[in-house]
């Protein structure tokens, strides 16, 4: 079970990264990831799990004779992608992490583009209707859909951190973001449709910190972190001199970018003053015809991880799925107990509480609590 051990390591790294970031001590972890060249490894693993979800998981759900004792081993594989993208989101803030990705940064850009395309194509409310009672395959599919949405939001943050380093990115990475994938126009779509926000029964709901919550009327114009990520990525891609030199400001792209002017209200600019520069740029773009990009002769690199995995396993997906059903996803009772012990150690209660965004509160008075009931281990109190 080498893969399960590897997942445990990734999960522990992810938890350590979150706790280190919350105390401002993540420098050691980033140095280790750079020193041991683990960022390309994580990106390769991320894309492998993404392909597994697209090619193997649907086959597993279709198999009529596959009735596992527990679906948790499959859930762990689905969750693996979320763990890796969360870890990358935490550490990609640092320039040296972005640089240490080397050629695999192209694969990560493609990955982020795929996720943002899915995000832009979501329905307005960001939710899907499901049956009242879910059988295991449907339940897993629903969990996968929910997780896909959250993973896409993490990919948005990772992409924004990549755009922070446009000056030090290889030329191929810039070309891929600006011209191959036309990320500025895709980001405009996200500004327009805002898939992490919806109005239901007259109330505005926004997705933050992993949950949908109702926004009070006085906070409806308040910029969320996700809104900020989109605007910062647009600032990086449109206002950088190198990006302006390479981007094709043709009729379509120009008309799409000018849609942003309707969203640049005084209230928004007050919350992110850097957007004043965006307003000036768009006003200038509206009345001028930008010069065509220079057609330099460039030997462009292409991402290889996605294509390599697809070519290597072409025509084998059903056989791989059946092999995994037999060898991986049908554990004996003893193996399940062993895995449960391992997962209990990885996802310990104390660790989960340390990662929780909200501090525990006293059951009686509601203030922040430090003492937990020794019997039920669920309720908290501020005094004995």
- Quick: pLDDT tens for 92-147: 999 999 999 999 999 999 999 999 999 998 753 444 433 333 445 678 888 888 89
Cα separation, 162 vs 181, whole angstroms = 15
What is the pLDDT at residue 148? 93
Q: And the tokens for 187?
A: 């980001």
The C-alpha atoms of residue 76 and residue 92 are separated, in whole angstroms, by 24
| % of the chain exceeding 90 in pLDDT | 53
Report DSSP state, residue 375: T
Quote the pTM value: 0.86
**Three-state SS at 25:** coil
In whole angstroms, how large is the CA radius of gyration of the chain?
Answer: 23
Distance CA 260, CA 282 (A): 8
- Amino acid 129: pLDDT: 36
* Residues of the chain scoring pLDDT < 50: 124-135, 356-357
Indicate left, alpha or beta for 314 from its phi (over 0: left) and psi (-120 to 50: alpha).
beta
Rounded Cα distance, 326 and 340, in Å: 19
In this prediction, residue 100 carries a pLDDT of 94
CB 48 within 8 A of CB 54: no
Query: Which token pair is 5?
Result: 């051990």
Three-class SS state of 274: coil
Q: What is the pLDDT of residue 285?
A: 93
């Amino acid at each position: 079970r080498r893969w399960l051990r590897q997942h445990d390591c990734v999960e522990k790294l992810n938890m350590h990264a979150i706790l280190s970031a919350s105390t401002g001590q993540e420098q050691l972890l980033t140095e280790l990831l750079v020193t041991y060249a683990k960022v390309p490894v994580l990106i390769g693993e991320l894309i492998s799990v993404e392909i597994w979800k697209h090619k193997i998981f649907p086959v597993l759900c279709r198999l009529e004779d596959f009735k596992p004792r527990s679906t948790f081993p499959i859930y762990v594989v689905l969750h693996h992608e979320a763990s890796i993208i969360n870890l990358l989101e935490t550490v990609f803030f640092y320039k040296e992490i972005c640089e240490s990705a080397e050629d695999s940064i192209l694969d990560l850009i493609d990955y982020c583009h795929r996720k943002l395309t899915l995000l832009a194509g979501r329905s307005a409310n960001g939710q899907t209707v499901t049956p009242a009672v879910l059988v295991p395959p449907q339940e897993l599919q629903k969990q996968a859909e929910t997780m896909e949405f959250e993973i896409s939001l993490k990919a948005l943050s990772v992409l924004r951190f990549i755009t922070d380093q446009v000056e030090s990115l290889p030329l191929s990475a810039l070309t891929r973001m600006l011209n191959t994938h036309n990320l500025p126009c895709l980001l405009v779509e996200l500004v327009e449709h805002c898939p992490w926000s919806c109005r239901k029964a007259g109330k505005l709901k926004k997705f933050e910190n992993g949950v949908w919550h109702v926004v009070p009327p006085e906070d409806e114009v308040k910029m969320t972190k996700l809104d900020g990520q989109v605007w910062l990525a647009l600032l990086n891609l449109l206002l950088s001199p190198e990006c302006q030199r390479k981007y094709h400001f043709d009729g379509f792209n120009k008309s799409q970018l000018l849609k942003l002017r309707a969203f640049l209200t005084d209230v928004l600019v007050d919350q992110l003053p850097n957007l004043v520069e965006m307003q000036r740029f768009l006003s200038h773009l509206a009345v001028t015809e930008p010069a065509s990009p220079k057609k330099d002769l460039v030997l462009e690199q292409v991402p290889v991880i996605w294509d390599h995995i697809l070519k290597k396993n072409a025509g084998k997906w059903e056989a791989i799925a059946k092999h995994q059903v037999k060898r991986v996803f049908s554990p004996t009772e003893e193996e399940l107990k062993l895995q449960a012990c391992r997962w209990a150690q990885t996802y310990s209660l104390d660790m989960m509480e340390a990662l929780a965004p909200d501090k525990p509160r006293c059951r009686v008075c509601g203030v922040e609590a430090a003492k937990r009931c020794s019997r039920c281990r669920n309720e908290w109190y501020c005094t004995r």
